[in-house]
Amino acid sequence: MIRAHTVEQVRSAEHALIRTLPDGTLMQRAATGLAHAVADYLGSVYGRTAVLLVGAGDNGGDALYAGAQLARRGAAVEAWLLSERAHRGGVEALRTAGGRVTVATSSPPPVRRRPDVVVDGIVGIGGRPGLRPAAVAALDALAGVPVVAVDVPSGVDVDTGEVDGPHVRADLTVTFGTHKVAHLVDPAAGAVGALHLVDIGLDPHLEPAAVTALRPEDVAALLPRPRSDAHKYTRGVVGVRAGSATYPGAARLSVAGASCGLAGMVRYVGPDEAAAAVRADHPEVVGPGRVQAWVVGSGSDAGAETALREAVADDVPVLVDADALAAVEVVAGRGAVLTPHAGELARMLDEDRAAIEARGLHHARRAAARWQAVVLLKGRHTLVAAPDGRVAVTTTGTPWLATAGAGDVLGGVIGALLAAGLDPFDAAALGSWVHGGAATLARRDGPIVAGDVARALPATLATVMGQSGP
């Protein structure tokens, strides 16, 4: 599992580790890892050129010591000092190795030769969002050159994933010891580029993660598997109340997600027009009866609140999507899974959509606490927030997944996992990962529609389950 920590957690772990090490060891470990990562990114070192953008923090020191190592291997390295408080030992190490040092606190020096790479050591992990004018000017002077960020792209909020003002957009981010929240949470995560983690020995000292993300092996361990004596009822029955005469396709897609094979049976309850379409697609789907979980709301139109109240009366876990989210108070405190996109969550919280997108982590946690439910906020990196503050981030998927009906399929998958016995948080995080994985598999080399994602679910599940044996 990917575990992301806050600045306070990282600093506490660093201080605990530093007490056991000779002075400067931690920075040298980080600098060596950074130098190797830059070398790997460039493909070669001798004769290559690098500009280091150096601020006052330890990230600037990491960049300077890494630059010294690159210079000793034959690279032409120049440091632009954006602060008068740049790390003195790092500056001296770079000069000793043959690198150039230029003060750029007021304006950047002329660019004599376009460098091969820029190393962003402007702001440390404790820096505030945004960049000072000197840093912005330096980045503008080097526009178009690939950027390797030290720890996080400078200018983003490390603990929230928020951005406020100018910030670095990296091609590669090299981080140390552990992932940080901004590596996973948008919009900051969109500025990270490829991410490389350098082990500097923090693990034994780190507290529980603030944010997590599943890896394939975690998914394989969580996915429900039938016992040798299983039958369709012991594997779980998921009910779907979705679709309407106006939107029968939503019913078909919700049922397609629920019919991924993770539950033993799927029941459909809805208007005759939608029911006929569902059964034409899925002859194994049956009608009303007892269920272990409900999926409610996709394309339900005016009947959404009634469908939700009828589902809640069964006292089983409920996934609430789309039209049913307008009646969210019906499930408050019942441990439901809510699956809004940013626009829907904005209406639920009486906020602007832009505010939700700018502060997704904050608002997902806020909604989870308000309704005492698991909130899955759909997006490029979907967030799954629990009422107790836990957050899982989905890193699978593709931009092609932004297509009509994809959320209907997602709701069905999560509903099947709820019916199979997973708790709401795990079901939402796992279902979102599988849904994104299926979209990636379905995409191959071109666009997809929601039905493609549903059809790719069995192959995705079989691939992941195969990684952990029968």
Residue pLDDT, tens place only, 207-241: 899 999 999 999 999 999 998 888 999 999 999 99
Q: What percent of the chain has pLDDT over 70?
A: 99
pTM above 0.75, yes or no: yes
- The answer to whether residues 206 and 237 belong to one domain is no
pLDDT at 467: 65
- The answer to whether residues 322 and 194 belong to one domain is no
Flag whether pLDDT at 27 surpasses 80: yes
Flag whether pLDDT at 469 surpasses 50: no
Q: Which residue has the higher pLDDT, 452 or 443?
A: 452
Encoded tokens for 82: 């954006």
Flag whether pLDDT at 446 surpasses 90: no
Separation in Å, CA 447 to CA 41, 146, 201, 341, 441: 30, 28, 43, 21, 11
pLDDT at 468: 53
Grade residue 470 by pLDDT with cuts at 50, 70 and 90: very low
- The answer to whether residues 78 and 183 belong to one domain is yes
Encoded tokens for 89: 């030992």
Mean pLDDT of the chain: 96
Could you list the residue range(s) of the whole structural domain that residue 185 is in?
2-212
Residue with tokens 């997590």, as numbered in its chain: 212
Number of folded domains that form the chain: 2
Grade residue 323 by pLDDT with cuts at 50, 70 and 90: very high
| Cα angle: 69, vertex 71, 72; to 5 degrees | 65
Closest CA to 253 of 444, 420, 404: 404
pLDDT at 127: 86
- The answer to whether residues 308 and 457 belong to one domain is yes
Flag whether pLDDT at 126 surpasses 90: no
Over residues 129-142, mean pLDDT: 97
- The answer to whether residues 108 and 18 belong to one domain is yes
pLDDT in tens, 405-430: 999 999 999 999 999 999 999 999 99
Write down which residue in 166, 184, 212 finishes a domain. Answer: 212
